[in-house]
Structure 1
Amino acid sequence: MTTRLNERKAAELKPRKQSYEVRDDVVRGLILRVGVKGQKVWEVVTPNGKTASGRPRRTRTRLGLFPDLSVKEARRAAETIKADRLSPGASRGIKTVSELFARYANAVGGRMRSFRDVESVWRIWAEPRIGSVRITDLNIYHGIDLRDHISAASSQTRASSALRVLRPMLSWAASEGYLPVNPWLGLKAGTPALERDRVLTEIEWIKLWEVAQSTHYPFGPWLQALMLSGQRLSNVAQMRWDEIAGDVWIIPALKMKATRPDRARSHEVPLSGALSDLIASQPRLGPYVFTTTGDKPIVPGSKLKVRVSTQAELTDWRWHDVRRTAATLMASSGVQRFVVERVLGHSDSSITAIYDRASYRGEKREALEILAGTVIEPLPRERLTNE
């Protein structure tokens, strides 16, 4: 059936005992396919050479779902795809999703808040799954497959978070003309991320430390450093030797989270005696303190977490809960909340912060010595530096 489609006509199409197609008479090759359950899918048919017998060969490309993709948007997407098919290279030199991500990172990475989270999701989950997919073949089913894979390997919450940070890339690609339309436009992320308040108990904290002590380099020492510093997982995992200046670890501004990257500041972490000794005892295999290859930092993943969970008898926890527990332990030991926030590297949004440029190095060091005392015999007072 062929008709001049509009929003009303498309909405009024009813399912039948068998799926059927309605061809748009405005854009040649544009089809709205109606399934037996009422789902309406936009597709475009384009020529793709000839068969061995000389008959025309055609290719169908899925554009998205109606009404997520309007009639006007579907026509524009169909025209773009047809133009790409007729003029090779219209995709501007990008062939795979990996190449698309590289272009995306170069374009927005420097000005997007927490782009390191996007890079982490891409490297750990998305690149192995869809990195080699041609962008002309990318469709909603790749998104569904990725979501289901992450749900099975980790959790539904992590799968939802992964889709939420990746979909803006495809929207950007569509707006820049790399894709005719966001192929994941109608894809549901699923379970929303919930705010967590999990804090490890004293027994769980000690058991986690014991597991960290018994685990070989680099993951055991990394976990110890995570517990002793209270810093973010990625910052500890990506710790570099050139960031250690005597008894202070300086995390560069580009690694710090900030609403506006241009306002991010480097973060000083005074090393407690225990953390200083731990770092000094690690082998120097390359620029990173914790590494398996020498030239790249470690990536603590779900397999390590499962092993640690089993050995420490921990349930319903995440790596970030270690940071929350560290903050709680310092606060419950009498450390002022303001100092705890400085240890964590949280920004101070008060007016006073504009004028107060003190590093609070001495206060932070004492707080971190107190944190170390939760797993190690408290150090004598003479080890504390008066700064």
Structure 2
Amino acid sequence: MTTDNDTAPRDFTDVFVRGYKNASGKRVEIRDLRITGLVMRVTPKNKKTFTLHTRTAVGDKVQITIGTYPAISLKDARAIAMNHLADIRRGHDPREQARLAKALVEARSLTLADLLDEVEPIFALTKSVWRAESRRGRKKTEARAAIENVFNALLKRPLNKVSLSDLAKAVNGYKPLRPRKGKTSANGSAARALTYLRPVFDWATGRGRFRKEGAGRDAKLELPDLGLIHDPSIDDPTLEGKRDRVLTQDELTRVMPLLVYPAPAGLREKLDAHDDYGPVAFRFLFLTLSRREEVTDACCKDINLSARTWTKFVKTKRQSGSHAPVQRRKVTVPLSDAAIDLLLTLPSFMNGGPENLVFPSSGNGPLCNWNRTQGAINCASGTSDWHRHDLRRTAATILGQLGVKPAVTDTLLCHLNPYNREQVSSAAPNYMIDTKILNDAVDRERVAVNLLADALASICETRESIQLSRPGGTTEAIRPRRCQSPWATPA
């Protein structure tokens, strides 16, 4: 049996350390009388480990593992302990040096893909582009996909073998696998990937806003500063800054007759017109001034026909100083008679259950082929250089021309503070809550969406049909489909 006398401090010798047996059934610690703080730990299985127990100049406890005997001899253990004590007296922390050494060892095998695996769940807590739901219907997050596309050749390379030059070549030499028509480069995509990767490297190395203790990676890595890489999008004249594209009246007369259900015959050759909800989703986006993801996520239960409203979740900003995940804001917006008429033409809405999508894909999943639909509409209408988000901007611009107050339009756009253009305090949204109290009060948002629908009907009446090019040179006239609202007053 091991007695209290067996574990009393003593002057270690090679004979004692080698021959000591622990029969107590629990771990014991024996202190060395020669080197203050040097301790030999012995497990019930007689595994012997040298550790150093001491305090810093300000009194903080420090415990450092030196090594296991006999891999570390008594002589070496004493020498290492003396070096640690000397470093602590000089104000250095041997634990930090050990972490740096560990980081250097890790960096020899840690790859860029491994680092992304580490950081993704951490950044996802505060950054939506690192969350799974950031790309509807896609497995990879927006940030991860962008980085892997641009830096694909470096993903499996150990980080200690990735130089600043390698990263710069990947950014400035990136070419997309499926380039957009008329584009010879993808500088915007490369710049976006660089923007996403830079904070990852800063986090891993403890740079910038991650410099504070505990903010970055526990074991710091030595990685290049991506802030030294030139952003290729800066010198690219094909990339726009603030986008101000709106569709002209002539473009609307050519585009809108195509945005119907069933989709115009031949618009998407490989897709049955009755399975194609893409074009009518574009129209609904315009009529409601919505974002793409809001239309994509719309379920039948979100539409209240009797109240003629749509309840949806929209983008919002995190509260200042908060690190909690961003929660989407729930809003209820009015629907115009034209938007209700549109919904009543859709089998997905009329025959669907509460959880069914209003605008499903051909496989009854989320509508995700927006770019293909956009291309088909452009080709059929003879228009170009506009984006689905430009429909939302066009609708807002039309409302401005119709004399609708900016605060009303901002409310329909579901911006966080619709009063930011008014001469009111920043506290106004806290008191003027977006809810209806008076039943007979004028609903200015509903008036606005009906004005927009009337303006669109007036525009479309100027061109009752358009010619859609068909394979082989044949053409087919396409006319906008009109339905009578069940709430409309008979003429």
Aligned to 1:106: 124
Higher alpha-carbon deviation: 354-363 or 146-155: 146-155
Q: Which residue of 1 aligns with 2:431?
A: 355
Distance 1:157-1:291 versus aligned 2 partners, 3 A rule: same
Call closer, same or farther: CA 1:263–1:380 in 2, change over 3 Å: same
Partner of 1:210: 257
Q: 1:166 to 1:85 in 2, by over 3 A?
A: closer
Corresponding position: 1:83 with 2:105? yes
In structure 2, what is the equivalent of residue 327 of structure 1? Answer: 396
State the AA in 2 paired with 1:270.
P
Match of 1:160 in 2: 191
**Native 8 Å contact 1:366 1:384 kept in 2:** no
Q: Secondary structure at the match of 1:144?
A: helix
CA distance, structure 2, for counterparts of residue 238 and residue 328 of structure 1: 25
Q: In the alignment, is residue 274 of structure 1 matched against residue 338 of structure 2?
A: yes
Matched, 1:257 2:326: no
Q: Secondary structure at the match of 1:357?
A: coil
Structure 2: gaps of 5 or more residues: 1-97, 206-215, 235-239, 268-272, 320-324, 421-425, 437-441, 462-482
**Is contact 1:272-1:368 (8 Å) kept?**
yes
Q: What's the CA shift for 1:282?
A: 4.4
CA shift for structure 1 position 266: 1.9
Shift of 1:265: 3.3
Superposition deviation, residue 296 in structure 1 = 4.7
Q: 1:200 to 1:353 in 2, by over 3 A?
A: same
Q: Distance in 1 between matches of 2:249 and 2:124?
A: 44
1:144: Cα distance to partner? 2.1
Tell me if 1:368 matches 2:446: no
Which of 282, 306, 310 is the matching residue for 2:379?
310
The percentage of aligned residue pairs carrying the same residue is 20
Is the 8 Å Cα contact of residues 256 and 264 (structure 1) preserved in structure 2?
Answer: yes
Instruction: Give the helix-richer structure, 1 or 2.
Output: 1
| TM-fit CA distance, 1:346 | 1.4
* TM-score normalized by the length of structure 1: 0.61
Task: For 1:74-223, list aligned pairs within 5 A.
Answer: 82-84=104-106, 96=114, 99-100=117-118, 102-109=120-127, 116=134, 121-122=142-143, 125-126=146-147, 133-134=155-156, 136=158, 140=167, 143-144=170-171, 147-149=174-176, 152-153=179-180, 156-174=187-205, 175-176=216-217, 177=219, 180-181=222-223, 184-192=226-234, 194-213=241-260, 214=264, 215=267, 216=273, 217-223=276-282
User: Aligned-pair distance for 1:341?
Assistant: 0.8
Post-superposition Cα deviations, 1:160-185, rounded to whole Å, max 9, x if no partner, equal 34543453344335532586526745
* Contact in 1 for aligned 2:316/2:327 (Cα 8 Å): no
Single out whichever of 359-368 and 195-204 deviates more from structure 2.
359-368
**What is aligned with 2:52?**
none
Aligned with residue 283 of structure 2, among 224, 241, 245: 224
2: CA distance, partners of 1:293 / 1:145:
38
Q: TM-score scaled to structure 2, two decimals?
A: 0.50
State the shift of 1:128 in Å.
6.1
Q: What is residue 340 of structure 1 aligned with on the other side?
A: 409
Partners of 2:290 and 2:413 within 8 A in 1? yes
In the comparison of the two structures, how many residue pairs are matched? 304
Q: Distance in 2 between matches of 1:294 and 1:381?
A: 29
For structure 1, which runs of at least 5 residues remain unmatched after alignment? 1-75
The structural deviation recorded for 1:79 is 5.7
Letter in 1 for 2:309: V
| Contact 1:96–1:131 (CA under 8 A) maintained in structure 2 | no
Q: Which amino acid aligns with 1:351?
A: A
What letter is aligned with 1:190? P
Q: Secondary structure at the match of 1:251?
A: strand
The alpha carbon displacement at 1:241 in A equals: 3.4
Deviations 1:306-327 (A, max 9, x none): 3332222223322221111010
User: 2:134, 2:141 within 8 Å by CA — same for their partners in 1?
Assistant: yes
Kindly tell me: are residues 382 and 367 of structure 1, through their superposed partners in 2, closer, same or farther at Cα, counting changes over 3 Å? farther
